[in-house]
Chain A
């Protein structure tokens, strides 16, 4: 049998590590302006939020219905979702890369990064 203090120190250490990691992520994510929208791990769209002058709204279809995404200068959010839990809507606006917006039912992740994740759209041919 270990002493209770052993367990308290162990748990406190894990909590401290998590806290440091959270702060580090916050610092690292500052200044990111390019919103990469991933579905099923594939970047389906990249938007440079710093270059937006007006609000851009578009929808993403997923197994749990439609997510409506709203992007404007410097920030992005899911404004409407057809899934029951609405967590992604409640996550609100994101203006830095500290943490992504996630819609688990639709396997959708919106992440602010420093570079556009090269969207590889399905293309049959190229004109020009």
Chain B
């Protein structure tokens, strides 16, 4: 990230805005299962896209901006902690995968990112509530996380494929 072009900056701003819109829209939909932390995480599509097309720095900034603003718009202060911890771990897991995965395996990073996101959520929940018993939600959270990760992963992969095609044209 040496010197940001206007093009890059506006792309990042655009992606942040889209992620934020998805994030806020999703917050309006009632949770599919009444378990705290279970959600589709559609905004993750943008994170995956940013990781694979823009790189670590921009992806990190987009994610941070989306989480901070998203919590401000849609959630409570406490949910910021969960999102930050989850998002950070998710990103840390995704970044090394960038070098390992082919264009057809992008969905894998989303699933593994989701798993680490769940780990972050549970850890914060245990610390915040002081109740290790909450860990009993981990298996259910993990299963739903994998499912959601598969969905957003394939969505992101399709998006990236489309964008690649456009660039070639």
Give yes or no for direct A-B contact (beta carbon below 8 Å).
yes
Cα A63 to Cα B78 with chains together (Å):
10
Q: Closest residue of chain A to B76, judged by CB? A: A105
Binary interface encoding of chain A residues 73-113 relative to chain B, with 1 for a CB under 8 A from any of its CBs, else 0: 00000000001110110111000001110111101110100
Contact A2 B100, CB 8 Å, known A104-B128, A107-B130: yes
> Quick check: B143 and A18 within 8 Å, CB to CB?
yes
By a beta-carbon cutoff of 8 Å, the part of chain B in contact with chain A is 30-31, 34-36, 75-76, 78-79, 82, 100-102, 104-105, 108, 111-112, 115, 125, 128-131, 133-134, 136-140, 142-143, 146
> Quick check: A92 and B34 within 8 Å, CB to CB?
yes
List chain B residues, Cβ under 8 A from A87. 31, 34-36
Cα A17 to Cα B140 with chains together (Å):
11
List chain B residues, Cβ under 8 A from A29. 136
> Quick check: A109 and B133 within 8 Å, CB to CB?
yes
List chain A residues, Cβ under 8 A from B111. 11
Cα A100 to Cα B105 with chains together (Å):
36
Cα A14 to Cα B102 with chains together (Å):
21
Cross-chain contact of A109 among B102, B131, B138, B142 (Cβ < 8 A): B131
> Quick check: B105 and A64 within 8 Å, CB to CB?
no
Cα A57 to Cα B88 with chains together (Å):
40
Q: Closest residue of chain B to A43, judged by CB? A: B131
List chain A residues, Cβ under 8 A from B30. 90
